[in-house]
Amino acid sequence: MDIVLLLLKQNIIMFVYLLIGYFLFRKKLVGTQGSADIGRMLLYVVMPVVIIKSYLVEFSVERLEGLAISFVLAALSLLLSILVSRVFFKKECGIERFGVAFSNAGFIGIPLVQMTLGEEAVFYVAAFVALLNILQWTYGVLAITGDKSAVSIKKISTNPIVLSFLASILLFLLPISLPAAVTGVIGTIASMNGPLAMIVLGVYLAQVPLKELFTDKLVYKATAVRLLVIPALTIVLMLVFPEKYNLIKLTVLIAASAPIGSNVAIFAQIYNKDYTQAVKEICTSTLLCIITLPIMIGIANAIL
């Protein structure tokens, strides 16, 4: 029950950040270009630093084993999400296939894991985020465009999240100790992830009439599959793994239970798809996850 209350508290805090972004846009203090700039800062600076920070820990065989298990669990849960998205949405619904398959594990999952399960758990969620980014630039691009030629290996190999994950693994495996000043800067930048990500989502929310969030049946369907169906099936998947991995299982489950990822809107813009539809689904699922995520984690915590 403690983790459920803690998650609920952190969700409320993140909702406050979202409201700040909403009112900043409404008062014309931040525009669409400003939010796009913050988004790039999150992608290219803050998120990579968050991942690096999570691996600045002393090497141990137990942690290495946990890393391997987290990688397997992340891969299985992401493949499950992709399969579910394909079952519920036709090929023509590329936005929904992408959005439902890929949660907002980086911008919402990591801060929630950090605040509820601690720094050690962020060590395990990083594999999920790295795999998610690789799949977004492969299966995700294919789902949105329907064009295999749009998939770029170069974009995967130069993705800042993937590169930071690989660098973090090296830092973990090698006996390298960074100066205190450097780790201090890393910690300060990493702490910006949750607030900035939710402020950007608040700016997204301010651009869509609130009525449209609650009158679109496709938005409801995408939200329900993302927040209820996939987490429920992920819990079933977790039952296969031993109880001793409960921390890792809860970590991956929080990431898998996060709302529709904000990257779907970015990809929709890049490939000239329905950006507005993507934003509606992001915002609706983000608002409703305040309720659904603690419930799902509570169920998992009771039966795992």
Are the CB atoms for 204 and 17 separated by under 8 Å? no
What is the C-alpha separation between 214 and 248, in angstroms, rounded? 35
How is residue 112 written in tokens?
Answer: 């929630």
Can you give the pLDDT at residue 103?
94
Angle between helices 32-41 and 193-206 (to 10 degrees): 150
Helices (H), 2-146: 2-26, 32-41, 47-54, 61-88, 94-101, 110-117, 119-135, 141-145
What is the C-alpha separation between 113 and 39, in angstroms, rounded? 21
Can you give the pLDDT at residue 287?
86
Q: Check pLDDT > 60 for residue 165.
A: yes
Q: What is the pTM of this model?
A: 0.87
The residue written with tokens 């990431």 in the block is 255
Q: Which domain holds residue 183?
A: 2-303
User: What CATH number should be reported for the domain holding residue 26?
Assistant: 1.20.1530
Q: Check pLDDT > 90 for residue 251.
A: yes
Domain count, the chain: 1
Q: Residue 260 in 3-state DSSP? A: strand
Can you give the pLDDT at residue 257?
94
Residue 234, class by beta-carbon neighbours within 10 Å (0-12 exposed, 13-18 middle, 19+ buried)? buried
Q: Check pLDDT > 70 for residue 1.
A: no
Residue 216, class by beta-carbon neighbours within 10 Å (0-12 exposed, 13-18 middle, 19+ buried)? middle
Can you give the pLDDT at residue 138?
87
- 72-109 pLDDT, tens digit per residue, is 999 999 999 999 999 999 988 999 999 999 999 887 88
Are the CB atoms for 97 and 225 separated by under 8 Å? no
Can you give the pLDDT at residue 81?
97
- Residues above pLDDT 70, as percent of the chain: 99
pLDDT (average), residues 157-170: 86
- In single-letter form, the type of residue at position 139 comes to Y
Can you give the pLDDT at residue 185?
94
- 204-222 pLDDT, tens digit per residue, is 888 888 777 778 899 999 9
- H-helix or E-strand spanning residue 97: helix 94-101
Can you give the pLDDT at residue 252?
95
Helices (H), 136-262: 141-145, 153-157, 160-173, 180-190, 193-206, 210-213, 217-224, 230-238, 246-256
- 101-126 pLDDT, tens digit per residue, is 999 988 788 888 888 888 788 888 88
